[in-house]
């Protein structure tokens, strides 16, 4: 493809994306395809002709779009919304167009320096102390996911706890890791990948009201393990759990960790970005005492997947764990010690220029624009929670947190029906196609999660959601 051909076709693709975004509300939120639908449609197609993109966008319309769940749809309330704002799409396009690989500072200095600069700038805006910035001896890096950020932090902790022997010896089988039953499953996955296995995991009790980790239970678990000859290495605390948005009390947990020399990681994948707003910053109280902190710009902060922001106070533990320098990757800049090579801060070697899309977002919205975006959703969630409280067919399954409202449906016919009802209400609401919600379980009981956070989601969409929920509850025989 010549640059001139790219110019022509590129304009068509940009137009296609603009049309898609303009018309999003016309689609059913959730994909309608049955398993195997696309595979069989493709098998029935003539072989791709080669040598052109004629009909490519038509095929996307015909074959791909019907089998999508439209994550940018204003009626998307499932999981946590993953905003791919249009400024971030343009930043991502630039990154793809440049096609640079930023594994080392020297392989594209701008890729490293923009990333480092943006993380140094954003950390303090989120309420992280100066110890997480380059100038303060810490540093930030963009990871592909909160899962990777957790894994990187875990291996840094293993490295530190072993005094570096981990490189050679691997894990000893005595290491232990602490979380709660509300912690995201990626913590267990990280334990598996790091070779610790589930026998290393300790599930610490939570407070029955807040569902936050109970610090005294953590202290007791660590003491028991130490007495047993175990080596406590890592605590994963969460600010804003995926299920119900619970917040682990960082101040007290950090004290326990400091006493025992245990690495404290904070997984704030969804809620961490709320630190931009001073009024939400109490959620991060105690963050000055943690060792690493991760939040996803690709959830609530309008930046297209993938863009997880990870900060640590101990960059040398991360690079100590992950640096391997074969001859072909050595150069004078790296050897000088004056630059950062981000390949040493992540599992893969190669890395995309992700900072460009984050830069585009910061420039387009500004910090005040981002704050307004976050506040709008918290306000909408408050309105929805008020409606839930006032209606006999619904109850709040947990206190609302930021943009997350978890609810149950009341049958008036006892516990068994109360557990069955939200499942059928959820199915009915999602089948309707106007909105999309997902579920979680709390103490074994099913609940409906409404995660408000889409850029296009407005008050009218909350009205639609509420009407759909009420109609479904009525049709399923909930308390009127």
Ligand X SMILES: *Cc1c(COP(=O)(O)O)cnc(C)c1O
Binding region for ligand X (CB under 6 A): 80, 145-147, 184, 186, 238, 241-242, 267, 269-270, 296, 308
Print the SS3 string covering the chain.
Answer: CCHHHHHHHHHHHHHHHHHHHHCHHHCCCCCCCCCCHHHHHHHCCCCCCCCCCCCHHHHHHHHHHHHCCCCCCCCECCCCCCCCCHHHHHHHHHHHHHCCCCCCHHHCHHHHHHHHHHHHHHHHHHCCCHHHCCCCCCEEEEECCHHHHHHHHHHHHHHHHCCCCHHHHCCCCCEEEEECCCCCCHHHHHHHHCCCCHHHEEECCECCCCCCECHHHHHHHHHHHHHCCCEEEEEEEEECCCCCCCECCHHHHHHHHHHHCCEEEEECCCHHHHHHCHHHHHHHCCHHHCCEEEEECCCCCCCCCCCEEEEECCHHHHHHHHCCCCHHHCCHHHHHCCCCCHHHHCCCCCCCCCHHHHHHHHHHHHHHHHHHHHHHHHHHHHHHHHHHHHCCCEEECCCCECCEEEEEECCCCCHHHHHHHHHHHHHHHHHHCCCECEEEEECCEEEEEEECCCCCCCHHHHHHHHHHHHHHHHHCCCCC
User: Based on CB atoms, which residue is closest to ligand X, 93 or 440?
Assistant: 440
Least gap, CB of 55 to ligand X (angstroms): 34
User: Based on CB atoms, which residue is closest to ligand X, 231 or 437?
Assistant: 437
Least gap, CB of 150 to ligand X (angstroms): 7
Least gap, CB of 308 to ligand X (angstroms): 5
Contact 371, 357 (CB under 8 A): no
User: Based on CB atoms, which residue is closest to ligand X, 101 or 145?
Assistant: 145
Least gap, CB of 240 to ligand X (angstroms): 6
Least gap, CB of 416 to ligand X (angstroms): 30
Least gap, CB of 147 to ligand X (angstroms): 3
User: Based on CB atoms, which residue is closest to ligand X, 28 or 400?
Assistant: 400
Contact 154, 177 (CB under 8 A): yes
User: Based on CB atoms, which residue is closest to ligand X, 201 or 468?
Assistant: 201
Q: Which two tokens stand for residue 207?
A: 């407070």
Vertex 235 angle, CA 232 and 237, to 5°: 165
Least gap, CB of 389 to ligand X (angstroms): 25
User: Based on CB atoms, which residue is closest to ligand X, 302 or 410?
Assistant: 302
Least gap, CB of 427 to ligand X (angstroms): 23
Contact 346, 412 (CB under 8 A): no
User: Based on CB atoms, which residue is closest to ligand X, 77 or 270?
Assistant: 270
Least gap, CB of 186 to ligand X (angstroms): 5
Backbone region of residue 407 per phi and psi (left: phi > 0; alpha: psi in -120 to 50; beta: other values): beta
CA-based R_g, the chain, Å: 24
User: Based on CB atoms, which residue is closest to ligand X, 88 or 334?
Assistant: 88
Least gap, CB of 253 to ligand X (angstroms): 16
Least gap, CB of 80 to ligand X (angstroms): 6
């Amino acid at each position: 493809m010549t640059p001139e051909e790219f110019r022509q076709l590129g304009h068509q693709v940009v137009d296609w994306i603009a049309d898609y975004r303009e018309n999003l509300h016309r689609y059913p939120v959730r994909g309608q395809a049955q398993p195997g639908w696309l595979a069989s449609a493709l098998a029935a197609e003539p072989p791709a002709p080669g040598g052109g993109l004629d009909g490519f966008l038509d095929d996307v319309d015909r074959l791909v779009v019907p089998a999508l769940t439209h994550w940018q749809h204003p009626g998307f309330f499932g999981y946590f919304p993953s905003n791919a704002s249009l400024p971030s799409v343009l930043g991502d396009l630039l990154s793809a167009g440049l096609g640079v690989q930023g594994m080392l500072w020297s392989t594209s200095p701008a890729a490293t320096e923009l990333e480092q600069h943006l993380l140094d700038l954003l950390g303090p805006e989120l309420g992280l102390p100066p110890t997480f910035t380059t100038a303060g001896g810490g540093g930030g890096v963009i990871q592909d996911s909160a899962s990777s950020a957790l894994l990187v932090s875990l291996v840094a902790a293993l490295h530190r706890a072993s005094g570096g022997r981990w490189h050679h010896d691997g894990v000893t089988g005595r290491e232990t890791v602490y979380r709660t039953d509300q912690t995201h499953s990626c913590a267990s996955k990280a334990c598996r990948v790091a070779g610790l296995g589930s026998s290393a995991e300790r599930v610490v009790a939570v407070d029955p009201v807040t569902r936050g980790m109970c610090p005294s239970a953590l202290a007791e678990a660590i003491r028991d393990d130490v007495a047993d000859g175990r080596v406590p290495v890592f605590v994963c605390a969460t600010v804003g759990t995926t299920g119900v948005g619970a917040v682990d009390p960082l101040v007290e947990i950090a004290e326990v960790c400091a006493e025992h020399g245990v690495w404290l990681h904070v997984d704030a994948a969804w809620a961490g970005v709320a630190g931009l707003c001073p009024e939400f910053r109490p959620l991060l109280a105690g963050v000055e005492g943690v060792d690493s902190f991760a939040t996803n710009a690709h959830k609530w902060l309008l930046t297209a997947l993938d863009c997880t922001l990870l900060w640590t106070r101990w960059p040398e533990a991360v690079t100590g764990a992950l640096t391997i320098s074969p001859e072909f990757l050595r150069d004078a800049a790296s050897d000088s010690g004056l630059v950062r090579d981000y390949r040493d801060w992540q599992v893969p070697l190669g890395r995309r220029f992700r900072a460009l899309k984050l830069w585009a977002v910061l420039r387009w919205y500004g910090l005040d624009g981002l704050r307004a975006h976050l506040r709008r959703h918290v306000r909408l969630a408050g309105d929805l929670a008020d409606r839930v409280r006032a209606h006999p067919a619904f109850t709040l399954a947990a206190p609302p947190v930021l943009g997350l409202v978890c609810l149950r449906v009341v049958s008036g016919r006892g516990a068994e029906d109360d557990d069955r009802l939200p499942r059928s209400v959820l199915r009915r609401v999602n089948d309707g196609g106007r909105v999309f919600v997902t579920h979680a379980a709390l103490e074994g009981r099913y609940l409906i999660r409404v995660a408000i956070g889409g850029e296009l989601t407005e008050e009218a969409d909350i009205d639609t959601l509420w009407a759909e929920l009420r109609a479904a509850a009525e049709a399923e025989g909930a308390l009127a």
